[in-house]
Structure 1
């Protein structure tokens, strides 16, 4: 069975630096690179962060050092109208539009106003039960990133999603009730139909030694859900390896220039690199092919030329006994297989064979 096509998502995030024009340029670059979808981050700064919240170290290194996280996000925040234009631009360019909502209002914008069919939840919100519930109650599919997570935290998040997917809007959530629904047949069925888990390492850029790509396999085994990778490493090697391990989604940041000011540019691919990633993923998908170990049509033709047959090592007279002295194995391989070599030894020739003539 052939490997299904991997969804390749160009994560624009806030690499537009608050500019609608730059955001559209990034969409165009994603289209040219061959991405299946682009993804933004939709938020209202006042709902996301306290005004005095400090920035993580990687953000301090790549943005204004003495600026608060709130002030930085305010600069990168796009309006609802900007998202409407971006959504329309994506439709025009025939590329999928995704976004990560960081608050309930942003869920409403994406679901009711833009009509998206899928929501992405960031690693930072795996423990944000109210947002998870809001996303699930929209009945949209959910891609859940699991950076910084333990398996227990992923399971708790899935329990919230299961509750939201299956219970009426007025149902009162509680930890015990969400666990009950998670364990139910209906809850598991809803998760299987609507959730993809992404392994992630929440460092920007992420060191290769911290990726632990085999944990993606652990997620698939633990929860029996499709898995993928949100990749923050330099280059394309890890993303390509994830596809070979069964990733159904690859998410990778895209920038026009890695040296630009902003929190995520440094951990992003530039357009030519992203195009190389897409090509490599598609090649791996073709190469994965079938799990059956059988010769291909091309190999069958080659086998006749490079495998060998039993031939006469010298003139063999009628009635002569076959021996290691008068038998040899040579190419091509459309005669008697050398696997029958010892079956012939000790038997007599029914006819005369000239040197190099195939033994029939």
Structure 2
């Protein structure tokens, strides 16, 4: 199919093949969009399945496993969506309680949608292993945590690494760590770690370069507001699409404002698959959908009555629609030929109409 997608090995998550030759894999990122309510998290699982997503993803951490409970200036957020918040307080609000995880995984299985998570420390990996997580995602901010990547790799499960803020060397180091740790099924996601991110920052032409440079399946973690960037990425070789997902963008949670609502997620799933179908193969042949319209192409017709023995000329023959006569490419060689019989106005010109040379 697409040449740049021939690089890298496919991976399999929960029985679903991902990579070259396979429909893009759509991940609905639940993140903090439960807003502290397990019923909202359960509703999001059902909504993601209904929208057509392949998977729904959690983030597994506690505030004390991702940051320190400190008031020092460097632990305060300055600017952006969460301006003025303490890191510890933000993560306290945003985290998915660990005691919810089993019910969430059980519910996802009941809805027949794949669930996995981004762990942020080794204890999160251990919890997810106990729950039978089929894969792992390394968040962009953790792509430089080589020890965590190695620990995740040691599970032997497929791994997806987001690359927001990472330069080419850091991406290479993360991939090397995953491989050294035992990961055999690996993908990376092009990402811009801004919330929301402007489409112009995405530079989607990076995706085929990533595939060629690193030899892995690539995709997109998209933080733009709408679906245009994600759908366009399919044409650039993205085979995994991840978007944040919420029940209500005005819900007031930390991630709600840059997340898709259920109807928009359904549009994303449909749009991504339409884009994939449209890529197809290199094919110059006539398509089945065109067959009924072939008759409306141009061909050569008598523009007036032509008597037997009369010379064919520009005055009595024209290239017009429909296409039942000789192809227009024969126009020049027919000029000056002699009619073998009477040819009526609007009759298609055929070889049988002409005297043999």
TM range (shorter): 0.7 to 0.9
Does 1:327 pair with 2:317?
yes
Q: What secondary structure does 2:190 align onto?
A: strand
Q: Tell me the distance in 1 between the aligned counterparts of 2:331 and 2:93.
A: 79
Q: Distance in 1 between matches of 2:143 and 2:208?
A: 19
Among candidates 76, 80, 95, match of residue 113 of structure 2: 95
Structure 1 ranges of 4+ moved more than 6 A: none
Aligned equivalent of 2:39: 21
Distance 2:345 2:154 in 1: 81
1:134 aligns with 2:156: no
Number of the residue aligned with 2:17? none
Matched, 1:245 2:263: no
> Which of the pair is proportionally richer in helix?
1
Q: 1:330 to 1:76 in 2, by over 3 A?
A: closer
1:275 corresponds to which of 266, 289, 293: 266
Other-structure match for 2:280: 289
Whether 2:26 is the aligned partner of 1:4: answer no
**In the alignment, what sits opposite 2:82?**
60
Alignment of 1:80 with 2:98, yes or no, is yes
CA contact (8 A) 1:244 1:288 kept: yes
- Number of equivalences: 328
Matched, 1:38 2:38: no
Q: What do residues 3-34 of structure 1 show as CA deviations (whole Å, max 9, x unaligned)?
A: 63111111011211332222112112212222
Aligned partner of 1:146 among 163, 173, 196: 163
Post-superposition offset of 1:132:
0.6
Does residue 305 of structure 2 align to residue 315 of structure 1?
Answer: yes
| Cα distance in 2 for residues equivalent to 1:72 and 1:326 | 82
Q: Which residue of 327, 334, 346 corresponds with 1:337? A: 327
Q: Once the 2 structures are TM-superposed, how far is the Cα of residue 126 of structure 1 from its aligned partner?
A: 1.1
1:108 aligns with 2:126: yes
Q: Provide the rounded CA distance (Å) in 1 between the counterparts of 2:245 and 2:59.
A: 13
Kept in 1: contact 2:192–2:201 (CA 8 A) = yes
The equivalent residue for 1:172 is: none
Give, in whole Å, the separation in 1 of the partners of 2:168 and 2:214. 9
Deviation digits for residues 80-119 of structure 1, max 9, x if unmatched?
Answer: 33111100000011111021010011112112x1112211
* Aligned counterpart in structure 1 of residue 223 of structure 2, from 221, 229, 232: 232
When residues 28 and 124 of structure 1 are mapped into structure 2, their CA distance, relative to the original with a 3 A threshold, is: same
Shift of 1:59: 4.8
Q: Provide structure 1 residue ranges, at least 5 long, that are not aligned to the other structure.
A: 167-189
> TM-score with structure 2 length normalisation?
0.86
In structure 2, the gaps of 5 or more residues are 3-20, 351-357
> What's the secondary structure of 1:15's corresponding residue?
coil
State the secondary structure of the residue aligned to 1:318: coil
Determine helix, strand or coil for the equivalent of 2:34: coil
| 3-state SS of paired residue (1:286) | helix
Report if aligned partners of 1:103, 1:131 keep a CA contact under 8 Å in 2: yes
Paired residue for 1:159?
A: 176
- 1:169 aligns with none
What's the Cα RMSD here? 1.9
Equivalent residue, structure 1, for 2:65: 47
Deviation by residue 1:43-79 (Cα, 9 ceiling, x = unmatched): 1322221222223633524xxx4x5211322233334
